[in-house]
Amino acid sequence: MVRRSIKMVINYKNLLSESLLILNTTKTLKKITVTDLQKESGISRQTFYNHFLDIDDLIQYTYKKEIVVHWDPHDLDLDFYDHIIEDFSKTKKYHKFLKDAFDIHGQNNLLEYTINYCVQFEQEWMQSFYGNETMPNSMLNAVAFAAGGSMYMKIRWIMNGIDRPLLDVAQDVIDNENRCLTPLFFVNPDDSPFEKSAQKIRNERQKESIRD
């Protein structure tokens, strides 16, 4: 009988990410060191640097793994309302991590990454609605303006300690996108994912008023 040795494959990136979140429950991200991660995870310093450039790189990985809602920019049927609610629900769950991360300013900081990620996605998504012809710079800039405004609302919500109900902030973001982009991209407002999302918000508000 041939004996086969079974090797357990360890995902070092995920293990370090989980350790970072555990440490973040009692320490701010600014104060977490590679030595702390080494002690928490049992992973050597060399192994850490084999997988990440630095702790900021690990923070971005954790954000992309645990928090980002991965939207398909080519999906014209994407439900913007459902995605915003999912995104903001994760934001509430990982509020401390995000607030700590946004307090870190450097070359590889998460705040800049999240803004760029949001703008890039929205430009690609609106390009899918626009068609095969490349959008002119004026429209790309309008999309960047709308996405940047929405991100500002979300970041302010995080930095203020999630001080407002989730649905209120979601409504602000959806209204901002609807005002900026629906008239620019959709001849019929009912075709706009932002107008559809605004209608969903109105329906939720009606349900709230009935319950009250």
Q: Which domains does the chain have, with CATH numbers?
A: 9-67 (1.10.357.10), 72-211 (no CATH)
pTM score of the predicted model: 0.88
- Give the separation between CA 144 and CA 150, rounded to whole angstroms: 10
- Give the separation between CA 193 and CA 201, rounded to whole angstroms: 12
- Give the separation between CA 182 and CA 185, rounded to whole angstroms: 6
pLDDT at 3 over 60: no
- DSSP, collapsed to helix, strand or coil, labels residue 80 as helix
pLDDT at 26 over 70: yes
Tens digit of each residue's pLDDT (9 = 90 or more) over 108-149: 799 999 999 999 999 999 999 999 999 999 999 999 999 999
